[in-house]
Structure 1
Amino acid sequence: MTASGAATTLLVGTADGARLTADLCLPAGDGPFPAVLIRTPYDRRRHRAELRAWAASGFAALAQDVRGRYASEGQWHPYRSEEADGAATVRRLREQPWSNGQVVAQGSSYGAHCALAAALGASADGRPDAVVAAVPALGHAETAREPGGPERLLARAGWWAAHGDRRTSDENALRDALAQDPRLFEHLPVAGLPSRLGRALPSWPHLWAAERDGGLLARAADARLPLLAVGGTRDPFREDTVELWRQWGGPARLLMGPWGHALTASPGPEARPQHRLDLGRLYVRWAEAALAGGLTAGRRGVTALGGSGWWASVTDGPEATAYPFATALRLLGGPGFVADPEHPLRSDHLNVPVAGRADRCLLITPPLPRPLDLLGSAGARLTAAADTPGADWVVRLVALDPRGVADHLATGVVRRTDPAHETVRFSVPLGHLSRRLPAGTRLRVEVGGHHFPAHARNPHTGEDPVTATRLRSSRRSVRLQDSALALPVVAARHRAARVHPAQEICR
């Protein structure tokens, strides 16, 4: 029997004969053991310390290169084969002489997609018994576009440059390309990006052709196994994480911290020492409870209240408080403005032009007279018009501390196809907020027509933004008296009940 911490290689055969390579760490002793499965396109060898930690806690731990990546055979087609390959690997684990038959699928980002694809697969014998999904990339279409339609350009370009259509990764590919051409994303069409990166990316057009069909979320309600969904309030997939938890049919737990996509490795400035968690130890504790049947039915969750040392229970939150644009906020610019894709509202900084033609509707609140807790879903209700039949609408919420330092809180973006010049009413979701704002903070609200380069520019010509080669400006107007910001304000601080994160998700 392999000693605790030592890794061996396990090859898993698939239906078409491709062999998938994995590293396996077993605990000391003869077993039987439960197993943890990590499937990744980012090189299984990166997980060796993680495998040893699982083995030290009594779990057999396997990290596998997905099909066509690193040491695994086959062709690499993102999101295409993970359900079948995951099921084949789960079955192989259960056949091992050291196995007690229980398997936990664990993964982060694309690895979370792999774990969920196996967990929600059609093959009952290929499903794991529990799943840990951190900052999940739910699918092709879900990662390509916002729910409201606009294309997630920067994030997808970075991922495809680093990992798309290649056996191994080049994490610096996009950075190097931008160093050579800082205006890389400004060149049209977006579909021509591979040629500007200097290599073939045959899967790039297929990314944008993918359509949202519900995917994993559509099957989540039928799930019966336990789920732990882990996310960050600064992660671009935070709403996917929350929605997965809300839709899950089995026992579901949510952990949201003041982190980016790398979770505890990328804390936001609002993080406090109490938000430093040992996620590995927490995963072990949750997996033990899940496999032992120790989790209560239904959904429970916990979120860090950034800017404080608190962790709070996740509920539907307080009823949103409306802040009318016309009375609760002071107008600084607009309400008429020009959304010019040649000079778009930028996503990579929070600077506001002080001169020239207005490029956004800009509003601000008075300084907060006392600390304010925001806990729940935020949004904006706009009544507005564009002189083009195709228009994206962006709402960005920024906190200005008493010194005037800007901090991004939330951004929402939706695509509209209303008739030109027609005034319409619509909502722009801003997603989950969990923040404490100190007294003296002012909230800045920006309403614009682009959010570039995070999102592709709407050309306002009626063409697909991915293939468009022409751009035109769009005149916009916001009717202030019929527009409002909706915030999940906790009326008194003591109403946000403090909880212990591990205790909350493991019961």
Structure 2
Amino acid sequence: MVITRCFLFLALVSLLQAQIEVAVESNIMVAMRDGVKLATDVYRPAGSTEKLPVILTRTPYNKNGAKKQGEYFAQHGYVFIAQDTRGRYTSEGVWHWMTDDALDGVDCAKWITSQSWSDGKIGMLGTSYVGGTQHAMALAQAPGLATVIPVDAVSNCGVQSMRNAGAFEMRFWNWIMLNSGKGSNTAQDPATGAVLKEMADNRLNYLANLPLRKDTMPLKLAPEYEDWLINAMRHGANDEFWKQNNILDHAYDYKDIPVFLVGGWYDSWAGNTTSNFRALTPVLKSDVYLIMGPWIHGAQAKSAHGMVDFGDEAAIKDELAWRLGWYDHTLKGKASPFTTKVRYFTMGTGDGHKTDKDLLYHGGEWHDVKEWPPAGTKPVNYYFGSDGALSTQKQKGTSSYTFDPRNPVPTIGGNISSGDGIMVQGAWDQRGGAHVWNWLNPLPLSSRNDVLVFQTEPLTEDVEVTGELEVKLWVSSDCVDTDFTAKLVDVYPASKDWPGGFDMNIADGICRARFRDSLKEEKLMEPGKVYPLTVRLYPTSNVFKKGHRIRVDLSSSNFPRFDVNPNTGEPLQQHRRIKTAINSIHHDAEHPSHIVLPVMKR
């Protein structure tokens, strides 16, 4: 792997530089424009009087956790700064989801560039929310900001990964349940923190009692967290409420600096990572790089995710060394160790044996290209048929099923983060068990009556699918609103190691019918009327091997990955009623429902 090979020399240098002493100034209270002070730690090479470039991380997860990175970059000739974001841990102020991080980031940058040890150049580091604080500063044109490496980063929240085509990703409900009692202002009081922890420990019970209503549960003790969650769960439209970090609609606001985007096929922000690359590349004069691996959220150093092993080459072994190479190039003018703008991992070239850790060996290999999606793919329509067929030939008929919101289809793996305790991440056999709290029996999801299964015959040759994925549906319902979900599955045949086969999830998605025409405006359905609707899945690169089947599961729920639609048409997350729906997928000549697969020819 190029990222590993390029930095063997840097790793050797690191052994020598690890002996450099680091000086740390802790809890410097840096004033923002409104007088709120944010706690900041500064790591510097001890005794150095040289002006140096700065690596900055702004985090809601406790700056004390950045000690390893701080020492590493200080030992390699940088000043490293870790700052608690507003209202978190030792910083003053009131926490809000991302909306303060643009101006706070600008004020932090002004403070950094005014310091005697700063050469005026700032690079940023961080994953998830901490990747989002990078995007926030870039969109705000922060002074001195010279490069960012947003990994699995918060962006485009009204499009996908928070509001997902109108549905709400419940991992953020889980994030609030966990973090309102950890690092918040309220949690500084031990007794109150204990109450919030008890709430978090019992959150599976709270899941059964949605929607959330103000002042009705212990979350009221952390009002800023309760307020944000209630508003976020009720606000489906992609409008001003979700403006912060909306790169897709505001790419021209992004500072013209080198950007290195990092994502994973099973990461919760994967669709936005590739979308941001496509949005920023034609706008910025500076280089935009992209790497996509077979990873779950924040786990680039690992090669196995869920029940599946992708091979040792899938992992980035030294996560700091490759970043150092990027910073040395963009902040110090050294030669770039990167020879290609896009690097992606194609899953599925393994033989499917069971490893010594009882994982499916799916394998894979890296590819270096100039663009995303890569050249050489051809969109191929695979049509749904009433007999469960999935074929490149158009089908006929209609498939109907009953969707009961009281018994939603359970989530088994997928593009998830912050799901601790309520969901598992990554690639899993689509079968229940002790790891799935709401599907404990070892039954395949395909056995459910509310899941429509469409699959090809066993493939006569390998089929590589690489790129963005969409399912085009023609749908109807006897309700005024409902959801439609889709999941792409790689079906392994029965083998000695897997006598029952293995149904491996590749990508999934959802569309809330009231947002079928626009993400900005709600429009209820007329019962019985047929409507076109698109389900956007997360991107991928996977080889469906000879003898496997390509499968698509269609339904109306995927819980708790997404909130459950009560089918009543009431305002989002304010319903008092629940209605069972009869939903239909039309797949005749006039309504050719299908999945569009970007098939790669090598």
Give the TM bin, normalised by the shorter chain.
0.7 to 0.9
CA contact (8 A) 1:141 1:207 kept: no
3-state SS of paired residue (1:366): coil
CA contact (8 A) 1:320 1:486 kept: yes
Q: How does 1:303-382 map to 2 (within 5 A)?
A: 303-307=344-348, 308-312=363-367, 313=369, 314-317=371-374, 318-326=377-385, 329=390, 335-348=399-412, 350-351=430-431, 352=444, 358-382=449-473
CA drift at 1:191: 3.8
Q: Is 1:221 aligned to residue 252 of structure 2?
A: yes
CA drift at 1:227: 0.9
CA drift at 1:77: 1.9
CA drift at 1:172: 12
Partner of 1:275: 314
3-state SS of paired residue (1:320): strand
- Check 1:472–1:397 CA distance in 2 against 1; reply closer, same or farther (3 A cut): same
Select which of 238, 247, 267 maps to 1:212.
238
> Aligned letter for 1:128?
L
3-state SS of paired residue (2:22): coil
- Check 1:384–1:173 CA distance in 2 against 1; reply closer, same or farther (3 A cut): farther
Report sequence identity in percent. Answer: 24
Distance 2:195 2:295 in 1: 24
CA drift at 1:114: 1.1
Partner of 2:148: 131
3-state SS of paired residue (1:64): strand
Distance 1:174 1:488 in 2: 46
Distance 2:63 2:332 in 1: 28
Per-residue Cα deviation, 1:10-33 (whole angstroms, up to 9, x for no partner): 331111222211221113533221
Distance 1:146 1:457 in 2: 13
CA contact (8 A) 2:161 2:268 kept: no
- Check 1:355–1:432 CA distance in 2 against 1; reply closer, same or farther (3 A cut): closer
Per-residue Cα deviation, 1:377-434 (whole angstroms, up to 9, x for no partner): 1221112211112121101112221232121111110111332111122221212111
Per-residue Cα deviation, 1:346-391 (whole angstroms, up to 9, x for no partner): 21373446777x3122212222233332211122111221111212
CA drift at 1:106: 2.0
> Aligned letter for 1:346?
P
> Aligned letter for 1:212?
N
> Aligned letter for 1:239?
G
CA contact (8 A) 1:188 1:468 kept: no
Distance 1:20 1:254 in 2: 32
> Aligned letter for 1:203?
W
Distance 1:355 1:121 in 2: 50
3-state SS of paired residue (2:558): coil
CA contact (8 A) 1:325 1:480 kept: yes
CA contact (8 A) 1:321 1:489 kept: yes
Distance 1:334 1:193 in 2: 45
- Check 1:483–1:272 CA distance in 2 against 1; reply closer, same or farther (3 A cut): same
3-state SS of paired residue (1:431): coil
CA drift at 1:442: 1.8
3-state SS of paired residue (2:564): coil
Per-residue Cα deviation, 1:92-138 (whole angstroms, up to 9, x for no partner): 11122122111112221111111111112155xx3511111111112
Distance 1:194 1:46 in 2: 34
- Check 1:33–1:147 CA distance in 2 against 1; reply closer, same or farther (3 A cut): same
Distance 1:142 1:282 in 2: 31
3-state SS of paired residue (1:456): coil
Distance 2:445 2:149 in 1: 44
Partner of 1:399: 490
CA contact (8 A) 1:87 1:121 kept: yes
CA drift at 1:263: 2.4
CA RMSD of aligned residues (A): 3.2
Partner of 2:600: 490
- Check 1:467–1:137 CA distance in 2 against 1; reply closer, same or farther (3 A cut): same
Distance 1:160 1:78 in 2: 10
Q: Is 1:416 aligned to residue 442 of structure 2?
A: no
Q: Is 1:237 aligned to residue 269 of structure 2?
A: yes
Gaps of 5+ in 1: 496-507
Partner of 2:91: 72
- Check 1:6–1:301 CA distance in 2 against 1; reply closer, same or farther (3 A cut): same
Distance 2:373 2:156 in 1: 26
CA contact (8 A) 1:140 1:207 kept: no
> Aligned letter for 2:135?
L
Distance 1:252 1:355 in 2: 45
CA drift at 1:309: 4.2
Partner of 1:90: 109
CA contact (8 A) 2:488 2:553 kept: yes
CA contact (8 A) 2:265 2:538 kept: no
Distance 2:300 2:445 in 1: 34
Distance 1:265 1:176 in 2: 33
Distance 1:172 1:246 in 2: 45
- Check 1:348–1:63 CA distance in 2 against 1; reply closer, same or farther (3 A cut): same
> Aligned letter for 1:86?
G
3-state SS of paired residue (1:488): strand
CA drift at 1:158: 1.4
Which range moved further: 59-68 or 440-449?
A: 440-449
> Aligned letter for 2:54?
A
CA drift at 1:444: 2.3
Partner of 1:247: 279
Distance 2:261 2:471 in 1: 27
Select which of 171, 189, 194 maps to 2:211.
189
> Aligned letter for 1:11?
M
CA contact (8 A) 1:158 1:174 kept: no
Distance 1:39 1:336 in 2: 49
Select which of 152, 155, 158 maps to 2:174.
158
- Check 1:62–1:355 CA distance in 2 against 1; reply closer, same or farther (3 A cut): closer
- Kindly tell me the number of residue pairs found equivalent between the two proteins: 486
Distance 2:446 2:544 in 1: 26
CA drift at 1:292: 5.0
3-state SS of paired residue (2:123): strand
Q: Is 1:434 aligned to residue 541 of structure 2?
A: yes
Gaps of 5+ in 2: 1-19, 349-362, 414-429, 432-443, 495-500, 515-524
Partner of 2:416: none
Per-residue Cα deviation, 1:257-302 (whole angstroms, up to 9, x for no partner): 1111122256422522112212211111112222356679xx9321
CA contact (8 A) 1:272 1:306 kept: no
- Check 1:447–1:181 CA distance in 2 against 1; reply closer, same or farther (3 A cut): same
- Check 1:445–1:451 CA distance in 2 against 1; reply closer, same or farther (3 A cut): same
CA drift at 1:41: 0.4
- Check 1:408–1:375 CA distance in 2 against 1; reply closer, same or farther (3 A cut): same
Distance 2:172 2:594 in 1: 32
Partner of 1:13: 31
CA drift at 1:203: 2.9
